[in-house]
């Protein structure tokens, strides 16, 4: 009887210990689920480059992960931020407080990303920015919880700006979207142009989602600059290029689209865009892996994915890998693991996270094909140069990020 009681007692202790261990593991993943929010523009001028395509990209990532990480389900939520920073910040705060969201991705629109970055820093959650470009995210507004994933204004300027000046485009005038993204892109490109030996003759700023570009283009035309740098994106880039052609500006001056997506080229057509330089962190036709994934995306969306869509997919994969490796969704542990473990996926190889939040990877300088070179719809680019990761982004030695300089963040 004593032996039986002893055996039962030991068995019970082992069972309790096992249950306690299981409970500890479960507690490391909050609420027993991994929740990811896709914060994007569903209805505005950036909806074509993000929007529903960003949601589909996240869904493809979850499918490739088998819908879970170590038995913990991955749950997606999404919202249209309407390109309003206050709406974005409010929604992300609600996601975290009420829905237990662990990671937010896309954050298309720089004002949105900057506002959201402050919320996740306060709440100690993670923001993986694939859609916004301003280098403020890794400079004066950097945080320990924001990852700038796919591209930024320095990389865009470094690629396109340098190439255009080398081709003889040494005088510039900027047509700039009047908010954080446009300001950063204009400043970074102007610095690159001057460094390459060119000069900047002026700039004009237009409101987001402008309805009429005629007065802005008149100022650009009067500048006599060889190059009109378009420091805008999405619908604004499409409309400004259309207006410049209708205005006759392209007969005497050349356009430099500083952030151009393949969906923009598709909308405008090769006859209008041929010869234009484009800098991107990703292209659907780079290799067998990008082509295979893009085919899946196309089957659902009826169009090829943009760099932003590919970045959303990659961000979900990276986050899930970190959760699996650390056994937790605790943000500090996730960020530390990502900084110490470069990732490789369909977006790129050796994706390396710096302390300032910049994800470093190769960038590509491409040129839009002549219509006679294109073999099919979406066959739009010739890759002219691979810009190595070490040279693509702002050096840490020039960083204004408090995490690097020693200030507060």
Which residues make Cβ contacts (< 8 Å) with residue 185, sequence separation at least 6?
Answer: 133, 134, 153, 156, 157, 176, 231, 258, 259
pLDDT score at 15: 40
Q: Which residues of 118-128 are buried (b: 16+ CB within 10 A; e: fewer)?
A: bbbbebebbbb
Using CA atoms in the order 107, 364, 276, 168, what is the torsion angle rounded to 10 degrees? 120
pLDDT score at 14: 37
pLDDT score at 18: 40
**Residues pairing with 43 in the sheet:** none
pLDDT score at 373: 97
Domains and CATH numbers, the chain: 32-151+287-356 (3.40.50.2300), 154-280+364-387 (3.40.50.2300)
Is the CB of residue 254 less than 8 Å from the CB of residue 229?
no
DSSP 3-state percent helix, strand, coil across the chain (nearest 5): 50, 20, 35
pLDDT tens per residue across span 165-195: 999 999 999 999 999 999 999 999 999 999 9
Residues of the chain with confidence (pLDDT) below 50: 1-26
pLDDT above 70: percentage of residues in the chain: 93
pLDDT score at 28: 83
pLDDT score at 335: 98
pLDDT score at 145: 98
């Amino acid at each position: 009887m004593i032996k039986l009681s002893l055996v039962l007692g030991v068995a019970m202790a082992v069972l309790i210990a096992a249950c306690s261990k299981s409970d500890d593991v479960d507690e490391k993943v909050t609420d027993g689920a991994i929740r990811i929010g896709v914060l994007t523009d569903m209805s505005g001028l950036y909806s074509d480059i993000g929007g529903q395509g960003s949601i589909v990209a996240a869904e493809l990532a979850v499918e490739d992960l088998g819908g879970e990480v170590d038995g913990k389900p991955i749950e997606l939520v999404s919202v249209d931020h309407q390109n309003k920073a206050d709406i974005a910040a409010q929604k992300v705060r609600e996601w975290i407080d009420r829905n237990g969201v662990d990671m937010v991705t896309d954050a298309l629109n720089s004002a949105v990303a900057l506002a959201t970055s402050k919320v996740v820093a306060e709440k100690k959650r993670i923001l993986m920015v694939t859609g916004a470009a301003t280098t403020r995210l890794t400079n004066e507004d950097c945080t320990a919880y924001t990852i700038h994933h796919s591209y930024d204004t320095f990389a865009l300027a470094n690629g396109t700006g340098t190439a255009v000046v080398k081709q003889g485009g040494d005088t510039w005038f900027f047509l700039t979207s009047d908010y954080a993204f446009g300001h950063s892109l204009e400043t970074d490109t102007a610095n690159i142009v001057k460094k390459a030996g060119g000069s900047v003759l002026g700039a004009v700023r237009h409101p987001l989602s402008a309805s009429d570009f005629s007065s802005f283009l008149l100022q650009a035309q009067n500048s006599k600059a060889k190059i009109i740098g378009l420091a805008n994106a999405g619908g604004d880039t499409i409309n400004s290029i259309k207006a410049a052609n209708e205005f006759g500006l392209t007969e005497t001056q050349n356009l430099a689209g500083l952030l151009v997506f393949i969906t923009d080229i598709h909308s405008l057509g090769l006859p209008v865009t041929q010869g234009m330089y484009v800098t991107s962190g990703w292209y659907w036709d780079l290799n067998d892996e990008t082509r295979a994934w893009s085919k899946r995306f196309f089957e659902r969306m009826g169009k090829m994915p943009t760099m932003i869509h590919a970045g959303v997919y990659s961000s979900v994969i990276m986050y899930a890998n970190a959760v699996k490796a650390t056994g937790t969704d605790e943000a500090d542990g996730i960020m530390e693991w990502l900084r110490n473990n470069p990732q490789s996926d369909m977006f790129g190889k050796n994706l390396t996270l710096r302390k300032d939040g910049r994800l470093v990877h190769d960038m590509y300088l491409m040129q839009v094909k002549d219509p006679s070179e294109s073999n099919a719809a979406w066959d739009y680019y010739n890759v002219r140069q691979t810009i190595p990761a070490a040279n693509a982004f702002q050096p840490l030695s020039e960083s204004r990020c408090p995490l690097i300089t020693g200030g507060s963040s």
